[in-house]
Structure 1
Amino acid sequence: MLGIILHALIVVILTLLTQIGGLAYLVALAASRAWGIRRFLAKLTIFLLCYVGASLAAGLAAPKFGRVPLSCMASTTDRLVVRSPIYCLLNRNYVRPEVRDLAKALAAHMDEEFPGTVTTALDANFPFVNGFPLLPHLSHADGKKLDFAYYYKDADGTFLNGVTRSPIGYFAFEEPAPGDELPCQGRHDWLTTRWDFDALQPLFPAYRIEEQRTSAAVRWLTSEGVARFGLEKIFIEPHLKNALGITDSHVRFQGCRAARHDDHIHIQVE
């Protein structure tokens, strides 16, 4: 009974993390038993082979379900990159074609306005099934959402191309200054993903948001992004929105139960 519970728990965790990992685990488990394989390393190898095969198959099948992958195999000339291979390894790099086109067009615009600038994508969506949660996000469940990293500069003001404060682009927050707008101040919600990760903050380098490029990206999103690609919403933390001088109504606060958005920009299309 304990073994069944353990296997079930592994399937649930792999499914929540990767969407298809649980199925790959069940196939690998069945194959190991059918072939009488007992050694852990051999079982792990079979699972990895099943998982890689399932991921490759997902990349081929996803377009039939209305989603396409953002590539993690960027060359030195690409101006749109996915921050880490982990997003592709976990199948979190899928979007609807119009979101992919929007991301590529934004990167091309930034490269044109600021030659050589790299635009960095973060979490997107899983390859299949509308409504399947991409934890810890509350809304990345239909292929219409994508996160971008901010553009950063070092303490001397030098632009850091393609660099983020954290290795995966998340959780290194831009802390509000005294007097900034704090819509969630005083709230203590029990069910929330608005985590501050205070213990992690000293571990990240003291980079700052590069205002010129970040503002230019948001201006493009709220103009060309809306007109050409049906962009509906952008989530940015209020204190950053105010600091960047953004007034467009498409840029909104995501609410106090959702994750902080002063470490990344969230966009979604209609």
Structure 2
Amino acid sequence: MTKLHVTSQGTIETEGTGLLQVDFASSWIGGGVLGDGLVQEEILFVINPELIVSRLFTEKLGDNECLIITGCQQYSHYSGFSDSFEWVRPYNERLSRDEWKRLQRQILAIDALHFRNWREQFSISKVTRELNKAYCGFKGQGNNEPDIATGKWGCGAFNGDPQLKAVIQLMAAAKAKRGLAYFTFEDEELKHGLEQIHSLLVTSDTTVGKLFQLLEDFCAIQDMSSTRVDLFQFIGDNVRPSRSQL
């Protein structure tokens, strides 16, 4: 596992400045930004309106595709979310520029699967799809790549399980060899749980391959259960610290 910083405070676009900022995207870039949508992706496009231009030349994302946008300028501060969203004041851009004179801001658009029923996601084929999608976005293109600012990807209207989505992103970041700054958006329970599981995975020297096998077992158990099974507890029950840590 790579390094992880988890916080329940702050936002990806503010406290994650300078990192690769994950856009919880629709497969159609921008989602409902030109209609009535106003959740994470639409807010990102509203405060960085240059992002809207990407809609002109970006097709619907495939399962093995992502979009990285470099150099967009933020124009606005905001507060709230969805119906409580409000413009607050202009944003004074202070980012430096790269050798191409682009602002050093990178936005990564990756679209999560939309589950009509929460049980649908506990299938190893669905888990694999999400792993491939996250890794496609997290995989670096060169040296000195920034760490990744992300959070509860696909866990709102798309009905993703926060624990499962967090573990998937940990695995993708580990394979990409990039650290994660994980914003839980005031979810203290997820913050503490993720910190504990990450610590256990590190001290037990758990590999991505081993964790994938655990997810296979977990999906099989969840499929047979009539209630939601706690993934963090399942991992904790099946992973032990390595002998060097005892």
TM-score normalised by length of structure 2: 0.30
Q: Which has the larger radius of gyration?
A: 1
Q: Which has the higher contact order (CA 8 A, sep 6+)?
A: 2
